């Protein structure tokens, strides 16, 4: 190979906003997706649910979190280019963690 990359093993990241005891509204929806699909590592189904939620209009911070979680789903299903796009869309609100995950995805792409 001309350029060999080293695959990175990472665990999913969950924002503190989702760790509330009694979530409501969109936080409740996100909480359910994380509880029902992330725990089971069913990232394909989680991606479907997140894409469904993203059809609605939310504030910038919520939308950024949804894109971040969608990026993780794509990362864990090895759709790295889609993951990078999602992390890019979450970068304005969450620059450090989004850039870190963009790098994880880039490290897993084979050229």
pLDDT, averaged in runs of 10, over the chain (111 residues): 54 86 86 91 97 96 97 97 98 97 91 61
- The predicted model scores a pTM of 0.89
Inter-residue contact 109 to 86 (CB < 8 Å): no
CA angle 91, 92, 96 (to 5 degrees): 50
pLDDT at 103: 95
CB atoms within 10 A of CB 92: 12
């Amino acid at each position: 190979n001309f350029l060999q990359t080293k695959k990175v093993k990472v665990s999913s990241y969950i924002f503190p906003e989702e760790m509330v005891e009694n979530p409501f509204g969109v936080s409740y929806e996100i909480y359910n997706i994380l509880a029902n699909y992330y725990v089971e590592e069913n990232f394909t189904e989680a991606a479907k649910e997140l894409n469904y939620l993203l059809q609605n209009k939310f504030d910038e911070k919520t939308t950024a979190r949804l894109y971040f979680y969608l990026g993780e789903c794509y990362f864990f299903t090895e759709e790295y280019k889609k993951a990078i796009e999602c992390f890019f869309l979450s970068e304005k609100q969450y620059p450090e963690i989004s850039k870190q995950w963009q790098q994880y995805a880039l490290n897993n792409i084979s050229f």
